[in-house]
Chain A
Amino acid sequence: DTGVSQDPRHKITKRGQNVTFRCDPISEHNRLYWYRQTLGQGPEFLTYFQNEAQLEKSRLLSDRFSAERPKGSFSTLEIQRTEQGDSAMYLCASSLEGGLNEQFFGPGTRLTVL
């Protein structure tokens, strides 16, 4: 069990640029979640996949944000035309169906928009 991995760990970009983050969940987990965490706050839910289907999106996910999970394995989160307010830690989590639905988190991608 290699855990949830995220790439890159850190990203610095200029305002207006596009960025893409990748999440590789635990292999047998069919549920995948994206959260955003700003300084001094707890993580906030962004979106949820069950296999390849995106089933839930938060109102926090503006039209500049898009997420995919094309084969039901890894997922990508793209932010277009980044703004300074997008600076945050982006966390990915995965879980199994049933039981506690305990979510296992990755190390996160820290985005800084200059």
Chain B
Amino acid sequence: AQKITQTQPGMFVQEKEAVTLDCTYDTSDQSYGLFWYKQPSSGEMIFLIYQGSYDEQNATEGRYSLNFQKARKSANLVISASQLGDSAMYFCAMRDTITGGGNKLTFGTGTQLKVEL
């Protein structure tokens, strides 16, 4: 079974600083995909960034980048130049192929990020 571990329940960062949110995963599959989602207090899950297991380069999307270390089974999210609006819950998730070609997501427990002035 796939498992996602996020060991940081809460993180604080000062505005304009960079922050790294940790994620480790466990899977026996050779082909897999990793996602990061942001969940503000409103509750909606917002897709941030994706990394495929065969991607040779780390994914980047604006101020978000993914530090993918395949041998260590880690996929840490780096947010550069933090903004107050980045304060939210962040979830790491892994894609698991299911019947009919669909993909369910297995999520970690999340990290609550608070950006301070």
B104 touches A102 (CB 8 A): no
Partner of B98, one of A56, A95, A104: A56
Q: Determine if B42 is an interface residue (Cβ-Cβ < 8 Å).
A: yes
27 pairs, A vs B, C-beta closer than 8 Å: A33-B102, A33-B104, A40-B109, A41-B110, A42-B91, A42-B109, A42-B110, A43-B105, A43-B107, A45-B106, A48-B100, A48-B102, A50-B101, A50-B102, A55-B102, A56-B100, A56-B102, A97-B101, A100-B50, A101-B33, A101-B103, A103-B105, A105-B37, A105-B44, A107-B42, A107-B44, A110-B43
What interface size band does chain A fall in?
20 to 34
Query: Could you tell me which A residues sit within 8 Å of B by CB distance?
Result: 31, 33, 35, 40-45, 48, 50, 53, 55-56, 89, 91, 93, 95, 97, 100-108, 110
Most chain A CB atoms below 10 A, which of B46, B91, B103, B108: B103
Identify whether the interface residues of B are mostly helix, strand, loop, or mixed.
strand
Chain A residues near B101 (CB, 8 Å)? Answer: 50, 97
Question: Which residue on B lies nearest to A33, using beta carbons?
Answer: B104
Identify whether the interface residues of A are mostly helix, strand, loop, or mixed.
strand
Number of interface residues of B (CB under 8 A): 27
Q: Known pairs A56-B104, A102-B50, A105-B37. 8 more at Cβ < 8 A?
A: A33-B104, A33-B105, A42-B108, A43-B45, A45-B104, A93-B45, A101-B95, A107-B42
Chain B residues near A102 (CB, 8 Å)? Answer: 35, 47, 50
